[in-house]
C-alpha cells in the first residue's frame, strides 16, 4: 500500500490528508468575494488568462452578488443534504483573492472564520498579488486557523505563459513561495495540462520544477475550452491539439511519479461546467477519469514519488 493512503490510491489524496489531520470529513465551500485580477484591470495586463470564464474559475462557487455569509450558508446547506456532519474550509476561489487592501480582505475572511465548524481558509491567488502587508496578515491568520494559499503557475514554459496571458514570471512564483514558507504558510500550486502547443515533456518539466519547491500541495487541471473565452476563439481559429483522455492519464501518472510523496494532490483532473464546455468532452465524466488514473497506476505498478 502507498505510504499516504488507506485505500487503493497510489497518490496522496486530499481526503486522506484531511482525515489524518482532522480525523473527520472536511468540506471546502467555494466562495466568490467579487475580486478581480491584475491581468484583467490593466495593472499588468488586460483580458485575464485566455482560458478563464467570466466567473474567474469560480463556476461552482457562490454568486458574487450575494453577501459572503449567504454564499457560505447556501453551499453548506447543500453539503448537509449529502453528509450529515463534518468540518468546513472557506475556499476563496474566483479570481485573485488577495488583490485588495488588507482591510477589504478582512471583511470577507473574518466572517467565515467565525462560522460554526469552520477550521480554516484556502485562498486562491497569484504570486504577484500578495503585498507585504497582506503577507503579515496571512502570517497572523495562519497562527489561529488552518490556512492554505493557492498560487497559479500553470506552466514554466515562458512562451506558453505569454500565450495564455499570465503576465507574471516563474521567478515571481519562486519568490512568493519562499516568502509564504518563511511564515510557515502552506502553499498549493496550480498547473494545467494540455495548454496550446505544449508537449508531454513540457508538462513533465513543469512538475519536476515544482517538486523542487517547498510546497505542500498541487492541483493538476486539464485545460477546459469554455464558451465565450479568448481560448475558444484561438481554438476555433487554429484547432490546436486537445489531449485525449488516454494522453492525459499517461501524462498525469508520469507527473505523479516525479512528485515527492508527501505533496498532497488537491486535484487531479478538471471539473468544468458541462453547459459551458467546448472541449474536451471526456472531462464531463470526472469519476471515470479518476478511476482510469487508478487503473493505469496499477497497470504500471507505479506510485507517487517513484521517480524522485
Angstrom distances, CA of residue 292 to CA of 9, 268, 299: 12, 12, 10
Residue with cell 495564455: 164
Q: Residue 25: which domain range?
A: 14-300
pLDDT average, residue stretch 166-180: 97
Rounded Cα–Cα distance for residues 22 and 58 (Å): 26
Angstrom distances, CA of residue 168 to CA of 127, 153, 159, 165: 8, 9, 12, 9
In a domain, 175, yes or no: yes
* Residue 166 confidence (pLDDT) above 60: yes
pLDDT value, residue 170 = 97
218-236: per-residue pLDDT in tens? 999 999 999 999 999 999 9
For residue 147, the surrounding DSSP H or E stretch is strand 146-154
In a domain, 5, yes or no: no
Residue 21: CATH number of its domain: 3.20.20.70
pLDDT value, residue 177 = 98
Could you tell me which of 143, 126, 137 has the C-alpha nearest to residue 45? 126
Angstrom distances, CA of residue 139 to CA of 76, 110, 281: 27, 14, 41
Phi-psi region of 167 (alpha: psi -120 to 50; beta: other; left: phi over 0): left
User: How many domains, the chain?
Assistant: 1
267-289: per-residue pLDDT in tens? 999 889 999 999 999 999 999 99
In a domain, 9, yes or no: no
In a domain, 36, yes or no: yes
Could you tell me which of 213, 222, 164 has the C-alpha nearest to residue 193? 222
Rounded Cα–Cα distance for residues 242 and 229 (Å): 16
pLDDT average, residue stretch 109-114: 98
pLDDT value, residue 82 = 84
Entry pTM: 0.96
Rounded Cα–Cα distance for residues 59 and 227 (Å): 13
| Lowest-confidence segment of 34-48, 52-66, 97-111 by average pLDDT | 52-66
In a domain, 6, yes or no: no
pLDDT average, residue stretch 143-153: 98
Report the chain's terminal Cα–Cα distance, integer Å: 18
pLDDT average, residue stretch 196-210: 98
In a domain, 3, yes or no: no
Find residue 187's DSSP bridge partners: 149
In a domain, 7, yes or no: no
* Residue 91 confidence (pLDDT) above 90: yes
Rounded Cα–Cα distance for residues 108 and 67 (Å): 9
pLDDT band with cut points at 50, 70 and 90 for residue 55: low
Q: Which residues contact 28 (CB under 8 A, 6 or more apart)?
A: 88, 89, 91, 122
Rounded Cα–Cα distance for residues 17 and 264 (Å): 7
pLDDT value, residue 56 = 55
Could you tell me which of 89, 118, 81, 124 has the C-alpha nearest to residue 15? 89
In a domain, 19, yes or no: yes
Amino acid at each position: 500500500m502507498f505510504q499516504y493512503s488507506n485505500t487503493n490510491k497510489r497518490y496522496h489524496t486530499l481526503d486522506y490528508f484531511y482525515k489524518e489531520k482532522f480525523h473527520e470529513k472536511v468540506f471546502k465551500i467555494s466562495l466568490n468575494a467579487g475580486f478581480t485580477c491584475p491581468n484583467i484591470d490593466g495593472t499588468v495586463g488586460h483580458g485575464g488568462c485566455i482560458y478563464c470564464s467570466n466567473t474567474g474559475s469560480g463556476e461552482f462557487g457562490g454568486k458574487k452578488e450575494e453577501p459572503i455569509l449567504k454564499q457560505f450558508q447556501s453551499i453548506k446547506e447543500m453539503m448537509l443534504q449529502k453528509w450529515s456532519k463534518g468540518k468546513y474550509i472557506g475556499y476563496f476561489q474566483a479570481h485573485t483573492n488577495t488583490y485588495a487592501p488588507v482591510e477589504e480582505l478582512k471583511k470577507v475572511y473574518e466572517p467565515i472564520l467565525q462560522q460554526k465548524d469552520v477550521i480554516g481558509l484556502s485562498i486562491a491567488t497569484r504570486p504577484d498579488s500578495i503585498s507585504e502587508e497582506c503577507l503579515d496578515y496571512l502570517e497572523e491568520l495562519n497562527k489561529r486557523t488552518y490556512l492554505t494559499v493557492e498560487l497559479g503557475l500553470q506552466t514554466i514554459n515562458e512562451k506558453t505563459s505569454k500565450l495564455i496571458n499570465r503576465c507574471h514570471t516563474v521567478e515571481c512564483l519562486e519568490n512568493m513561495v519562499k516568502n509564504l514558507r518563511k511564515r510557515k504558510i502552506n502553499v498549493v500550486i496550480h498547473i494545467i495540462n494540455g495548454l496550446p502547443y505544449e508537449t508531454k515533456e513540457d508538462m513533465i518539466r513543469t512538475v519536476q520544477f515544482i517538486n523542487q519547491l517547498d510546497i505542500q500541495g498541487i492541483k493538476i487541471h486539464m485545460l477546459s475550452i469554455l464558451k465565450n473565452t479568448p481560448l475558444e476563439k484561438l481554438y476555433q481559429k487554429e484547432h490546436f491539439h486537445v489531449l485525449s483522455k488516454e494522453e492525459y492519464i499517461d501524462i498525469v501518472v508520469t507527473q505523479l511519479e516525479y512528485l515527492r510523496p508527501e505533496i498532497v494532490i488537491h486535484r487531479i483532473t478538471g471539473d468544468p461546467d458541462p453547459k459551458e464546455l467546448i472541449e474536451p468532452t471526456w472531462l464531463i465524466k470526472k469519476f471515470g477519469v479518476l478511476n482510469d488514473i487508478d487503473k493505469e497506476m496499477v497497470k504500471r505498478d507505479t506510485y507517487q514519488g517513484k521517480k524522485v
